[in-house]
Structure 1
Amino acid sequence: MTTLIRPEGPEPDDIRLSRRALASGTLGGLFFAGYAPAALAAQAAPVTTDAAGLVAEEVSFPAPDSFQLPAYVARPEGDGPFPVAIVVSEIFGVHEYIRDICRRLAKAGYAAIAPAFFVRVADPAPLSDMQEVQRIVAAAGYEQVMGDVSATLDWASQQLWARGDRVGITGFCWGGKVVWQACARFAVLDAGVAWYGRLAAAANATPAQMQAGQPWPVDLADDLKCPVLGLYGENDRGIPLDTVEAMRSALARAGQTESEIVVYPGAPHGFHADYRASFTPEAAADGWRRLLAFFEARVKA
């Protein structure tokens, strides 16, 4: 098991190995059935949300490059139409934690859609080798990811049960950065909630890493087309507080008065991930409450 303390996975000196045998899922349908073994804590007791009163299904639809993009969808039973919430995964793709997030949002009245951004190369969810996971994630470049978000928006707009004119987006770790990028690109989005997505290049980033990560959220404040709520941990070793303050300053300069960043004292990276050792119940619960209130005012309204 790897203790994840950075959005895109660990540095070499972050690795912590465990002898615990992981048998948390088997392959079934389009997606790995369990929790990502590379990050599953030995003593984890993840939140589990049933599908009672919901329609939960695996779908696929064409992306701009003609790839049939798989996605997990959870929505309330009934005709709707329901406001839409796009869920952007961590580096492990659409494993059980992300599917459960979709069901939680569906229980709150949203049609939640989690696209599988990485599977053009491979599904990272069942892998324990973090280097292989990082290789797969690195192949998902900015234009591909934005194309996949666009395809998700287009597909949702064609569903009778979805309100294509009321759309929010939320994402975790790697997906938190995607939230900032998407909210700067797509005018149809009404709100975004970014959970500890990287905001700027690391101080020790190589030129190649700096280039690969562009556009960085700190450079996109002027382009945001909807408010974004950022949820960050004080003790996140991969997202230094000086980059959080730089983002706050950029938002202020851009006049983005409805956007906000909350920093949870003592919280590490991945504090919402209830299947990891980093799970911090108080911060996770408060962040989820803030997400629902943020979406209620801007997506459901």
Structure 2
Amino acid sequence: MTQMTRISTLDGSGEFDGYCATPQGRRPKAAIVVIQEIFGVNAGIRRKCDRLAEAGYLAIAPDLFWRLEPGIELGPDIEPQLQRAFSLMEQFDQDQGVRDIEATIKEARLRCDGGKVGAVGYCLGGRLAFMTAARTDVDASVGYYGVGIDNLLGESKAIAKPVMLHIPQEDHFVDKDAQARIHAGLDDHPKVVLHDYPGEDHGFATEMGARRSPASADLADRRTAAFFAEHLG
């Protein structure tokens, strides 16, 4: 079952929408917060939620751009929409975004009767998933092609719960030097596992569109599924 739901900010000063998918005819085994790309909670992100619900999880994708343009949905393969997405990303307050993710984790935990909550993010969401792991009580986090994580490595000391990062080696937003810094900073972290994808570019695991690389997307998603099964139950 899918529906839009309202989520209260941590300080109670406002509310924002989230797309919520729940398992059909059964109680969710855990919850997962799905963190958007720079394109909003579009059809691809909603499909990520739907697939997690099919696997038995309650999945919520918060509209993190709600303070800028509520309900926006953009496509990476349409140039004007891509440029609009870049503009929104430049205006977006990432620290506030993590607080809204934390509010979504709180809401998801209530909906699962206090059970475990994970997070998975893509692109901007991959970076936010890493920040979420360091700054919240989330139980497990996965980031796909997060940008700028090499500049956040100082936060890794605060990570106490499991984290998985998927790194395409030909990511045109994350060069080889940045990838090397990520490995140098995280390879020995007891809670972090990194997976590299040779020949793959940014966005390879999107649900639809020109960026998708099916074989690597399926491999990454299988690894994510196993990771959540282990750490969320």
TM-score (norm 2): 0.90
Within 5 Å, which residues of 2 pair with 1:81-100? 81-100=28-47
Residue in structure 2 matching 1:296, options 205, 208, 229: 229
**Partner SS, residue 158 of structure 1:** helix
1:234 corresponds to which residue? 169
Q: Which amino acid aligns with 1:111?
A: L
Within 5 Å, which residues of 2 pair with 1:151-166? 151-159=103-111, 162-166=112-116
**Cα RMSD after superposing both structures:** 1.9
Cα 1:297–1:73 shift into 2, 3 Å: same
- 1:200 offset after TM fit, Å? 4.2
Q: Which amino acid aligns with 1:222?
A: K
Instruction: Name the stretch that deviates more: 178-187 or 242-251.
Output: 242-251
Is 2:139 the counterpart of 1:197? no
Q: Which amino acid aligns with 1:135?
A: S
CA contact (8 A) 1:83 1:164 kept: no
Stretches of structure 2 lacking an aligned partner (at least 5 in a row): none
Write the distance in 2 (CA, Å) between the matches of 1:104 and 1:141.
29
Is 2:230 the counterpart of 1:280? no
Residue in structure 1 matching 2:9, options 63, 66, 77: 63
| RCO higher in structure (CA 8 A, sep ≥6) | 1
Within 5 Å, which residues of 2 pair with 1:24-43? none
TM-score (norm 1): 0.71
Write the distance in 2 (CA, Å) between the matches of 1:292 and 1:129.
31
**Partner SS, residue 30 of structure 2:** strand
Larger C-alpha radius of gyration, 1 or 2? 1
Q: Which has the higher helix share?
A: 2
**Partner SS, residue 220 of structure 2:** helix
- 1:126 offset after TM fit, Å? 4.3
- 1:155 offset after TM fit, Å? 1.5
CA shift digits 1:243-301 (9 cap, x unpaired):
2221222124xx5224111111111110011322121111100000000000010011x
- 1:81 offset after TM fit, Å? 4.6
Residue in structure 1 matching 2:73, options 98, 119, 125: 125
1:221 corresponds to which residue? 156
- 1:141 offset after TM fit, Å? 0.9
Instruction: Name the stretch that deviates more: 263-272 or 60-69.
Output: 60-69
Number of residue-to-residue matches in the alignment = 227
**Partner SS, residue 61 of structure 1:** strand
Stretches of structure 1 lacking an aligned partner (at least 5 in a row): 1-54, 202-215
CA contact (8 A) 1:199 1:247 kept: no
Q: Which amino acid aligns with 1:57?
A: Q
Write the distance in 1 (CA, Å) between the matches of 2:61 and 2:31.
11
Cα 1:147–1:258 shift into 2, 3 Å: closer
1:148 corresponds to which residue? 100
- 1:71 offset after TM fit, Å? 0.2
**Partner SS, residue 220 of structure 1:** helix
Cα 1:156–1:200 shift into 2, 3 Å: closer
CA shift digits 1:229-256 (9 cap, x unpaired):
111111111111222221222124xx52
Is 2:112 the counterpart of 1:167? no
**Once the two structures are aligned, what percentage of the paired residues are identical?**
30
Write the distance in 2 (CA, Å) between the matches of 1:81 and 1:290.
20
CA contact (8 A) 2:28 2:56 kept: no
Write the distance in 2 (CA, Å) between the matches of 1:192 and 1:227.
6
- 1:143 offset after TM fit, Å? 2.6
CA shift digits 1:43-84 (9 cap, x unpaired):
xxxxxxxxxxxx211111211352211000111134625301
1:262 corresponds to which residue? 195
Within 5 Å, which residues of 2 pair with 1:236-251? 236-251=171-186
- 1:157 offset after TM fit, Å? 2.5
